[in-house]
């Protein structure tokens, strides 16, 4: 058996009392031909492994380069030096994998996030990225824990689908037909009957429609999976492939939906604060350091930890779209024409600068915006009594803008059919979705949380490409 080791995280919480242990990991630095800073990915903190002078071959010491993989066995003693409470006095050091210092792309110094994005295969080996991915893991775990405790059923919805759940047409096609010489119909269009699935298919933009089918039998379900959008958005908040959590609940109205979303967001943030404190403290420092480069008015008003604690300890601000338009119209920011996209009045779609104004300047807390004009929202949202708004909700977070989009769903068959027709959604193809309204229809609601935007919010990372291991964005799909 090879894996007889203790993880550094577990060792660091023990008392140093001459226990003999074996650790394995990657060398971060090797100082004074004596002190190895070893990291095994279990914690942000390195373990100091001491190779006492004269005890080891010169040949071996030369191979203790940055990122070399080693195994060390020795006794754990209180540290003489500053900066750590314990160290491992090595008796045996084995090199498991050499790392050529001349060729290793990362130096033991600070690299820019942009540079590290190009070295995404190695960036896990930096403190920043190791912390981000541990926090990402914790959030994913907390999400499953939250819904499990509430009695939701985890539903895996398909990745390949024939429907456009958002009706926005931003889909990647899935086909095995040749690009050239594809079989054609008489009218010149491509004959998808000849394709793998016998019809045109694409990568899913959302699992919602299938989740609705599950919820109207199982009661409460959630999905947590990859979704794909072929929108040409080159921003710090958009990915072409991102993960989404979509709970869907029978017997819920819009208010129930908002209550659940708020409780959910607070729960997972609290869980990360309780279980990833070392990583979050590290990331908080990183953000504070980074912001020192910025002019005063561009810096965050709160530190990362303070911000997260504020969010879990305060109610989200709830207001209607109509109220938001009033606030924006009457804002000094608008009067001084400081918005890039002017406020044109009721009916306009909100841009991220408007959302961020509401959250960061006006309310200074997360906001749940409800009841948007029907014309700017998806076909499945429930039409309100006024006949012009729908029971939609977006949750807007400080520094981010939209992190959640959701709604109460249209459960009335006739109203839904009318809306689909008006919005050119092919009702014949969606017979299965409509059947839910034909057989025991009930009020139901749900929402989608963009997982990477949540990870960004919790880690304080400015660019979404830094919170997913291998980002997919327009013109970029390396690794």
Tell which residue, 331, 146, 127, has the closest CA to residue 222. 146
Per-residue interface string for the shown chain with ligand 4AD, residues 194-213, x marking contact by CB under 6 A? ------------x-x-----
Using CA atoms, how far apart are residues 388 and 347, in angstroms rounded to an integer?
10
Q: Is 268 in the site for ligand 4AD (CB under 6 A)?
A: no
Count the residues in the chain. 479
- Residue 295 three-state SS: coil
- Residue 245 three-state SS: strand
Q: Is 402 in the site for ligand 4AD (CB under 6 A)?
A: yes
Least distance CB 402 / ligand 4AD (angstroms): 5
Q: Is 446 in the site for Mg ion (CB under 5 A)?
A: no
H or E segment and range at residue 297: none
- Residue 150 three-state SS: coil
Q: Is 453 in the site for ligand 4AD (CB under 6 A)?
A: yes
Other Cβ atoms less than 10 A from the Cβ of 293: the count is 8
Q: Which residues contact 63 (CB under 8 A, 6 or more apart)?
A: 95, 98
Least distance CB 302 / ligand 4AD (angstroms): 21
Using CA atoms, how far apart are residues 185 and 198, in angstroms rounded to an integer?
14
Q: Is 392 in the site for ligand 4AD (CB under 6 A)?
A: no
Binder to ligand 4AD among 25, 74, 366, 448 (CB under 6 A)?
448
Burial 50-66 (b: 16+ CB within 10 A, else e): bbeeeebeeeebebbbb
Q: Which is nearer to ligand 4AD, 25 or 471 (CB)?
A: 471
Query: Which residues does residue 243 pair with via DSSP β-bridges, in sequence order?
Result: 226
Residue carrying structure tokens 């794909």: 228
Looking at 103-111, 292-300, 329-337, 445-453, which segment touches ligand 4AD (CB under 6 A)? 445-453
Binder to ligand 4AD among 40, 87, 164, 246 (CB under 6 A)?
246
Q: Which is nearer to ligand 4AD, 448 or 460 (CB)?
A: 448
In terms of C-beta density within 10 A (0-12 exposed, 13-18 middle, 19 or more buried), how is residue 323 classed?
A: middle
Q: Is 225 in the site for ligand 4AD (CB under 6 A)?
A: no
Q: Is 238 in the site for ligand 4AD (CB under 6 A)?
A: yes
- Between helix 254-275 and helix 127-149 the angle, nearest 10°, is 130
Interacting positions 343-382 with ligand 4AD (CB under 6 A): none
Task: Quickly count helices (H) and strands (E) in the chain.
Answer: 14, 16
Least distance CB 13 / ligand 4AD (angstroms): 36
Least distance CB 23 / ligand 4AD (angstroms): 38
Positive/negative CA dihedral, 30, 33, 35, 41: positive
Using CA atoms, how far apart are residues 447 and 255, in angstroms rounded to an integer?
12
Q: How far is CA 90 from the centre of its chain?
A: 40
Which of Mg ion, ligand 4AD, none lies near 123, with the C-beta cut-off 5 to 8 A by kind? none
Looking at 341-349, 357-365, 396-404, 414-422, which segment touches ligand 4AD (CB under 6 A)? 396-404
Looking at 92-100, 405-413, 429-437, 471-479, which segment touches ligand 4AD (CB under 6 A)? 405-413
Binder to ligand 4AD among 40, 87, 164, 166 (CB under 6 A)?
166
Between the two ends of the chain, the Cα-to-Cα distance in Å is: 32
Q: Is 405 in the site for Mg ion (CB under 5 A)?
A: yes
Joined tokens for residue 149:
């405790």
Q: Which is nearer to ligand 4AD, 165 or 391 (CB)?
A: 165
Which of Mg ion, ligand 4AD, none lies near 400, with the C-beta cut-off 5 to 8 A by kind? none
Least distance CB 168 / ligand 4AD (angstroms): 8
Binder to ligand 4AD among 398, 446, 460, 471 (CB under 6 A)?
446
Interacting positions 233-252 with Mg ion (CB under 5 A): none
Q: Is 267 in the site for ligand 4AD (CB under 6 A)?
A: no
Longest dimension (CA), the chain: 85
107: left (phi over 0), alpha (psi -120 to 50) or beta: beta
Looking at 22-30, 134-142, 399-407, 465-473, which segment touches Mg ion (CB under 5 A)? 399-407
Strands 444-450 and 401-408: antiparallel
Alpha-carbon distances, residue 305 vs 145, 314, 364, 467 (angstroms): 22, 14, 16, 18
Binder to ligand 4AD among 450, 460, 466, 468 (CB under 6 A)?
450
Looking at 272-280, 283-291, 423-431, 444-452, which segment touches ligand 4AD (CB under 6 A)? 444-452
Q: Is 452 in the site for ligand 4AD (CB under 6 A)?
A: yes
Site for Mg ion, rule CB under 5 A: 405
Site for ligand 4AD, rule CB under 6 A: 165-166, 206, 208, 229, 238-239, 242, 244, 246, 402-407, 446-448, 450, 452-453
């Amino acid at each position: 058996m090879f894996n007889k080791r203790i993880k550094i995280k577990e060792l660091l919480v023990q008392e140093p009392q001459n226990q003999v242990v074996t650790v394995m990991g990657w060398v971060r630095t090797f100082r004074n031909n004596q002190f190895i800073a070893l990291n095994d990915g279990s914690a942000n903190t390195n373990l100091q492994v001491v190779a006492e002078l004269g005890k080891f071959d010169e040949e071996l010491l030369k191979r203790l380069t940055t990122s070399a993989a080693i195994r060390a066995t020795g006794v754990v003693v209180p540290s003489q030096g500053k900066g750590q409470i314990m160290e491992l006095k090595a008796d045996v050091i084995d090199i498991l994998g050499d790392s050529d210092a001349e060729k290793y792309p990362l130096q033991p110094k600070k690299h820019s996030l942009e540079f590290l994005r190009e070295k995404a295969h190695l960036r896990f080996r930096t403190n920043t990225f190791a912390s981000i991915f541990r926090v990402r893991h914790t959030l994913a775990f907390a999400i499953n824990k939250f819904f499990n405790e509430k009695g939701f059923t985890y539903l895996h919805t398909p990745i390949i689908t024939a429907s456009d759940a958002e009706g926005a047409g931003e889909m990647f096609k899935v086909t095995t037909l040749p690009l050239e010489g594809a079989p054609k119909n008489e009218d010149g269009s491509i004959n998808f009957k000849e394709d793998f699935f016998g019809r045109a298919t694409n990568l899913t933009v959302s699992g919602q429609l299938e989740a609705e089918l599950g919820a109207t039998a199982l009661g409460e379900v959630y999905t947590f999976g990859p979704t794909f959008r072929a929108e040409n958005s080159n921003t710090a908040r958009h990915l072409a492939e991102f993960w989404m959590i979509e709970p869907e609940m029978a017997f819920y109205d819009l208010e129930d939906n908002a209550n659940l979303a708020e409780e959910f967001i607070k729960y997972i943030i609290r869980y990360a604060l309780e279980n990833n404190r070392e990583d979050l403290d590290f990331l908080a420092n990183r953000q504070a350091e980074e912001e020192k480069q910025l002019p005063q008015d561009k810096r965050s008003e709160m530190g990362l930890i303070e911000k997260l604690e504020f969010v879990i300890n305060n109610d989200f601000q709830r207001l209607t779209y109509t109220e938001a338009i009033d606030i924006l119209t009457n804002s000094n920011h608008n009067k001084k024409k400081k918005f890039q996209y002017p406020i044109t009045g009721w009916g306009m779609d909100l841009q991220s600068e408007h959302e961020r104004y509401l959250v960061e300047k006006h309310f200074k807390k997360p906001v749940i915006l409800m009841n948007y004009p029907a014309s700017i929202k998806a076909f499945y949202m429930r039409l309100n009594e006024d006949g012009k708004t729908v029971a939609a909700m977006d949750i807007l977070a400080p520094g981010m803008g939209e992190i959640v989009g959701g709604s109460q769903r249209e459960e009335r068959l006739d109203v839904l059919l009318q809306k689909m027709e008006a919005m050119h959604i092919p009702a014949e193809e969606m017979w299965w979705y409509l059947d839910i309204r034909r057989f025991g229809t009930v009020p139901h609601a749900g929402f989608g949380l963009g997982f990477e935007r949540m990870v960004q919010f919790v880690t304080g990372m400015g660019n979404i490409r830094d919170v997913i291991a291998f980002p997919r964005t327009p013109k970029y799909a390396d690794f």
